[in-house]
Structure 1
Amino acid sequence: MRRRLILALLLLTIAPHLHAQRESSAMSDAEVEQLRDSAYVANDRVLVFIKFLDERSQSIQTLTTGPRKPGREADIHDMLQQFTSIADELNDNLDEYGPAHRDMRKALPKLLSATERWATILKSPADNETYNVSRKLALESVRDLREAASQLIEDQRTWFVTHPPPKESKGEPLTIPR
């Protein structure tokens, strides 16, 4: 009986920490899986990140414009932290893909226009000490993404002019020499 009581007390002290670790993740398991699926095509991966950041920014907008609910400021804070975490992860990916000359020419203009949209949404909530620091960090992440995307657009434009990718055959059967 005593061992069971000790075990129960141990579980009660550990459980909140385990729960907090799970909630600290910025992405769900399904989102992580989507990123894994898009890992081989840089363009697709950037588009998946844009989708996740759009979802987070829409959640922030809904929280700020919707009916006021208890804990709203804490929810905004959490969404801003998730947004920052995902934006930083995207920025890390861009830092890796750029020097490797991974083709992101289709996704980068979309990323650049999305940064304007996100900055506007992140600036919309009224000042509140609960999330002001998180908002500042999120806006810095958006600024970093905008700068990286702008630079990469130019870098990729120059690179692919001098190093054009091989043309893909469209509908033509692949001939194998014998």
Structure 2
Amino acid sequence: MLKPLLLAACLLATPALVHAQRDHESSLSEGEIEALRDSAYVANDRVLVFVKFLDARSSGIQSLATKPRRPGREEDLHDLYEQFTSIADELDDNLDDLGPRHRDIRKALPKLLAATDRWATALKTPAENEAYSVSRKLALEAVRDLRESATQLIEEQKAWFIAHPPSKDEPANANETKPH
């Protein structure tokens, strides 16, 4: 009796997982996915690739808000807010993974922190509209979460690398995983 219930629960959960995966993948172009793959081995680079993607989405939002109004603009803004949130959440997940592993991302974190101010300003540029108000709120929350994560990681990384300095023979990025 328990096995059929577990199987049913797994089958019901699978579409939600597939849908979530599809949402993330649809937020990125093939070129962006490839750039993430290429940056997978150097944590600083990976964070900066995400910053670049979020800069592109926030610039798109700002551009749509400042250009003359056209049909479909609200839907396009909604889609860009959704993409921004998806990418920001993925970056936050990466930070959650990189921090406890003590991957050296000290160079990227101040850039990420500075970018959060830029993004918050850009996301607030379009006038309030019911078509994207929830998406914008979620995107702004994602920026706030990234800011908190980056601020916390800056302090954690500073303390960790003071307590565990690399040896003179060890390269600065020795804790990075090398491709095989």
Determine which structure has more spread, i.e. the larger CA radius of gyration.
Answer: 1
Paired with 2:42 and 2:170, the residues of 1 have a C-alpha distance of 19
Question: Residue type of the partner of 1:41?
Answer: V
Q: 1:55 aligned to 2:56?
A: yes
- Inter-CA distance 163–169: structure 2 relative to 1 (3 Å threshold): closer
Give the TM-score normalised by the residue count of structure 2.
Answer: 0.80
- Residue number in structure 2 paired with 1:75: 76
User: How many matched pairs?
Assistant: 150
2:141 and 2:111 mapped to 1: Cα distance?
19
Query: What is the distance in 1 between the residues matched to 2:98 and 2:54?
Result: 19
Share of identical aligned residues, percent? 69
- Residue 149 in 1 paired to residue 177 in 2? no
Once residues 73 and 106 of structure 1 are traced to their aligned partners in structure 2, the CA distance between those partners, rounded to angstroms, is 37
Please give the residue correspondences for 1:106-117 in structure 2 after superposition, counting only pairs within 5 Å: 106-117=107-118
Secondary structure of 2:27's match?
coil
Cα deviation for residue 68 of structure 1 reads: 1.1
User: Alpha-carbon deviations, 1:50-100, whole Å to 9, x = none?
Assistant: 000000000000000012111000000000000000000000000000000
> Equivalences for 1:23-172 in 2 at 5 Å?
25-167=26-168
Kindly indicate whether the alpha-carbon contact (under 8 Å) linking 2:82 and 2:135 is maintained by their aligned counterparts in 1: yes
- Say whether the 8 Å CA contact 2:54–2:87 is kept in structure 1: yes
Distance (Å, rounded) in 2 between the aligned partners of 1:112 and 1:84: 16
State the alpha-carbon separation in 1 of the partners of residues 159 and 138 from structure 2.
32
How many angstroms apart in 2 are the aligned matches of 1:85 and 1:23? Answer: 6
Of the two structures, which has the highest relative contact order with CA contacts closer than 8 Å and spacing of 6 or more?
Answer: 2
Distance 1:166-1:69 versus aligned 2 partners, 3 A rule? farther
Task: List gaps (5 residues or longer) in structure 2.
Answer: 1-21, 172-180
CA displacement at 1:165 relative to structure 2: 2.0
Task: Assess, with a 3 A threshold, how the Cα gap between structure 1 residues 160 and 23 changes in structure 2: closer, same or farther.
Answer: closer
- CA–CA distance in structure 2, aligned partners of residues 23 and 156 of structure 1: 28
1:24 shift after superposition? 7.0
- Which residue identity does 1:161 align to in structure 2? I
Following superposition, the deviation at residue 26 of structure 1 comes to 0.2
C-alpha contact 2:23 2:86 (8 A) present in aligned 1: no
Structure 1 alignment gaps of length 5 or more? 1-20, 171-178
Q: What is the TM-score of this pair, normalised by structure 1?
A: 0.81
